[in-house]
Amino acid sequence: MSSTELVPASGTASQAAARADGRQFLTFRIGGEEYGLDILRVQEIRSYEAPTRVAHAPSFVKGVVNLRGVIVPILDLRIRLGQPSEYNGFTVVIVLNVAGRVVGIVVDSVSDVLELSASEIKPRPEVPAAIDSRFMTGLGKLGERMLILLDIEAMIKSPDFGLVD
């Protein structure tokens, strides 16, 4: 199993100054949608490896893996969002440190790390969707790209996930 360390691409000093009020997001894809989550929650990105199944776990809990001595639950975010899960060479696990726990989420692919200024983050819409709006921090607009920005901590702490007391 390989892992990739996250090293944001460096830009010019003027780009850094222009986005000083921004936040960095790791972007990833599930189906045809692009999502972003706070880069500070990301511990590492790993290639997908079939986890050890856990009896009677919900369908989105794929199992657990041993990550350097830490047992990490692996959640398939695609299934949780009502999307089909198809494993291929682009499927990855984003290992997160959320609410004092290490958790892995399975996504279709990871795109990049983006920095969005406050003006590029729009309020979350109040429309029916596969994802509960309380788990969205907003929408990121960068040129023609539209990112669904997730509050991954609220999502993991949710009773629906049942991982955090």
pLDDT tens sequence across 61-73? 999 999 999 999 9
Query: What's the pTM value of the predicted model, to 2 decimals?
Result: 0.81
Phi, psi dihedrals of residue 110, rounded to the nearest 5°? -105, 135
Question: Is residue 44 over pLDDT 70?
Answer: yes
In sequence order, what are the residues at sequence separation of 6 or more whose Cβ sits closer than 8 angstroms to the Cβ of residue 18? Answer: 117
pLDDT digits 0-9 by tens, 135-144 = 888 899 888 8
Q: CA 2 to CA 36: how far, in whole Å? A: 22
pLDDT of residue 149: 93
Burial per residue of 15-24, b for 16 or more beta-carbon CB atoms within 10 angstroms, e otherwise: eeeebeebbb
Higher pLDDT, 137 or 5: 137
